Amino acid sequence: MEPFTIIINVLVIVIGYLIGSINPAYIFGRLKNFDIREKGDGIAGTVNTFKSLGMKYAIPTGTFDFFKGILAIYLSLLIGADFIFAQLSGLAAIAGHVLPFYIKFRGGQGMATTSGILLAYLLNYLLTGPEMLIFIFAYLIFVLAIFVFVTKTGIIVAIIALGLVGYAAFIYYPGNPYNLFFLIVVVYDISVSLYDTIKGKVIKIEDETFKTHWWRVAMRPFAFLFIFFYIIFTQIVALLIIGIVAMVFIALDITRFLNKQTNELLTVKIKSIFRKNEVKKFSSMTIFLVAAFITILVFEKNIAITALTFLIFGDIFSKIFGLAFGRHKIFQKTLEGTLAYFGCVLICGFVLYNILDIPLFILIIGGITAPLVELFSFQLNDNFTVSLISGSVMTVARVFGV
């Protein structure tokens, strides 16, 4: 690389940072004799500008913040910077917006700037091929409509949309030079959105049982390790691992049943371990492990993986969204929880379709079956029924080709 090119490449990163550090929200606030970071949510961005100064100032703020990342990339390419350094200039613009040097490195969150860059990348993908457009209109809009209805909250929908679009870019445009930078911006946006979701307590669950046993839901994703072992190793290894863990939980449950004091200790005194309704029953953890063992033992590999994936993540979505946003009761569940389960299945199905050798119609049939089984389980434990019934339905569909 020639010395002049090196200088240009370094210079464009500095230029990107300086463009990004120009913060209209802060400037407009100072023109009105106050620091906008001391108003509203304390963020020097478009939303706080609207709340503190009104639409007249919010429009130019949002417009400039949206385009300054694109401007940095365009100027970098115009003066002869390498492709990679031009994209780094766009990322530097985000950094400049978040950490402006002249106001003690405390600016906005950069969401408008990242939105502009993401839109530019998306347009590039669309010019490369129509796959992203088809993905958006044939799939993404439907998934997002479900979560818009369930949550009535834009930030959660945005997190889901960003994750899916980021994944789709790598699936549909492998080898595209923008992929790495697109992923960086997507991950940044998701991280900021998750932070705002937690800070703003967007998901509020008042259910006392959940508050006591939240850790069981939090631990559920780790059950995917059993599927991971099945994918990486063999069926025998996966069954051996699940079988050992299941036997431990079965032994613990039997010990509870045989010893009244132990049962009372684990269900009453130490409330967070077992639920009250599990005093005389096998725990849902044990039932899940047994179901996972049977599912892997009985069904063809890809069907078993699909059924267990639907169970693991669908159950998480159903519980969290049902308890946080449930408004319409259906039997012992909520409409919102069931729709969230179905939405999760759509997300998982999209991922599985691209990594497993499994026909789309089987995924659709299994994806419809899983949330319905969860809804209509009644007195049966859905940790046991979902994977076994959905796996059976998918197996029948594959055998008969319907």
In a domain, 124, yes or no: no
CA torsion, points 83, 175, 116, 136, in degrees to nearest 10?
160
**Of the residues 159, 182, 202, which one is the last residue of a structural domain?**
202
Q: How many alpha carbons lie under 13 Å from residue 244 in its C-beta half-sphere? A: 6
Beta bridge partners of 356: none
Residue 123 belongs to some domain of the structure: no
Question: Do 51 and 104 sit in the same domain of this protein?
Answer: yes
Average pLDDT (129-148) is 93
234 lies in the same domain as 273: yes
Q: Is residue 387 one of the residues assigned to a domain?
A: yes
Query: Taking a C-beta distance cutoff of 8 angstroms, is the pair 172, 131 a contact?
Result: yes
Q: Which of 153, 169, 202 is the last residue of a domain?
A: 202
What is residue 167's predicted lDDT score, i.e. its pLDDT? 95
Final residue of a domain: which of 177, 202, 227?
202
pLDDT for res 265:
67
Strand segments (E) across 61-113: none
Strands 333-334 and 329-330: antiparallel
0.95 exceeded by pTM: no
The answer to whether position 56 is within a domain reads: yes
Q: Residue 312 falls within a domain, yes or no?
A: yes
Query: Does residue 217 sit in the same domain as residue 183?
Result: no
Q: Are residues 257 and 323 in the same domain?
A: yes
Query: Quick check: 314 pLDDT over 70?
Result: yes
Give the pLDDT band (50/70/90) at residue 263.
low
**Which residues are CB-contacts of 196 (< 8 A; sequence separation ≥ 6)?**
109, 155, 202
Please state, rounded to an integer, the average pLDDT across all residues of the chain. Answer: 91
Burial class (CB in 10 A: 0-12, 13-18, 19+), 319: buried
pLDDT of residue 208: 80
List the structure tokens of 244.
């050992």
Residue 120 domain-assigned (yes or no): no
Structure confidence at residue 252 (pLDDT): 87
pLDDT digits (tens, 9 = 90+) for 347-369: 999 999 999 989 999 999 999 99
The verdict on 223 and 198 lying in the same domain is: no
Find residue 147's DSSP bridge partners.
none
How high is the pLDDT of residue 266? 64
Residue 325 within any structural domain of the chain? yes
Taking the C-alpha atoms of residue 337 and residue 322, their distance in angstroms, rounded to an integer, is 4
Residues ≥6 apart with Cβ < 8 Å to 26: 35, 36, 37, 44, 100, 103, 107
CA–CA–CA angle 8, 63, 154 (5° rounding): 115
Q: Which amino acid is at 19?
A: I
Cβ within 8 Å of residue 43, ≥6 positions away: 37, 108, 109
Per the structure block, which two tokens stand in for 65? 């913040």
- pLDDT exceeds cutoff 60 at 291: yes
Single-letter amino acid code for the residue at 384: F
- The total of structural domains in the chain comes to 3
Mean pLDDT of 54-67: 94
Closest Cα to residue 108, out of 157, 71, 58? 58
Whether residue 357 sits in one domain with residue 231: yes
Q: Is 315 exposed, middle or buried (0-12, 13-18, 19+ CB in 10 A)?
A: buried
Residue-wise pLDDT for 195-224, tens only, equals 999 988 899 998 887 877 777 788 888 889
Average pLDDT, stretch 52-61? Answer: 93
Range of the domain at 144: 129-202
> Do 187 and 285 fall into the same domain?
no
Q: Do residues 198 and 261 both lie within one domain?
A: no
DSSP summary character for residue 333: E
- Output the pLDDT for position 256: 81
Residue 256 and residue 380 in one domain: yes
Q: For residue 338, is pLDDT > 60?
A: yes
The SS3 call for residue 201 is coil
Residues 162, 226 share a domain? no
Instruction: Kindly state the DSSP code that residue 129 receives in the 8-state scheme.
Output: -
DSSP state of 259: -
Say if residue 78 is in the same domain as residue 175: no
Question: For residue 40, is it within any domain?
Answer: yes
What pLDDT score was predicted for residue 297?
96
**DSSP structural state of residue 278:** G
Percent pLDDT > 70 in the chain is 95
Same domain as 331, residue 229:
yes
| Confidence (pLDDT) at 270 | 60
